[in-house]
Structure 1
Amino acid sequence: MEAESGGEIFTVGAGRVVLSSGAIRSPQLLMLSGIGPKEQLEQFGIPQIQESPGVGQNLMNHLSAQITFKVKDGIVLETGEDAAHFGLHYTSTGSEQKNDMVLRTQRLLMKGKSV
């Protein structure tokens, strides 16, 4: 497998390499590589390398929304370890799955200013 890091391209070898790309694209990447349910791979003419019927199953939505705000001039938000962070897990109305929702804060820097 060829990889790039810091502008340098290098080759990595191993008996088996499974590459993933996070929660959103891993099933697609695995299936395009021939890892997944045989019936689905055959449907798209992809040669199967490894039978793995769970690939692409039991997926969940990863909806994301961003709220950005600007503080008044002269106000500086804490950017160090003392910066406020919180997370909230809760169950959406009518859901059979407990704690299916997550709300959390994240500090961003925009144009050199803390947001």
Structure 2
Amino acid sequence: MHIIGIDHIQLAMPSGEEEDARAFYQGLLGLREVSKPAHLAARGGCWFEGEGAKIHLGVEAEFVPARKAHPGLLVRDLSRLSERLEDAGFPTITDQPLDGYNRRYVSDPFGNRLELMERC
């Protein structure tokens, strides 16, 4: 047996902040929201999908943002996405180069760190 891929990543969020999640992940990052199964929907949170990426945001009662652990998301047109995020009040941070990628970090509305990576 061996790992063959990642189905989704899950990040935590505070209770009652689904609209902020939608504004960021759907409105700014361009992911589409998908319905959660009924037995999970009652817990709150949101699920989003895009080309090759699934992000589940789950409510955590004692929420603490992931500031070091993070997903690395492949993007197209990193400079345009960064500009869009910054215009919306989400500063991006350029980090040391990584062979084959341009990359920046951004925090979601809850302080979770995301790495945005564009192949070059």
Q: Which has the higher contact order (CA 8 A, sep 6+)?
A: 2
Per residue, is there more strand in 1 or in 2? 2
Same fold, TM exceeding 0.5? Answer: no
TM-score (structure 1 length as normaliser): 0.22
Per residue, is there more helix in 1 or in 2? 2
Determine which structure has more spread, i.e. the larger CA radius of gyration. Answer: 1
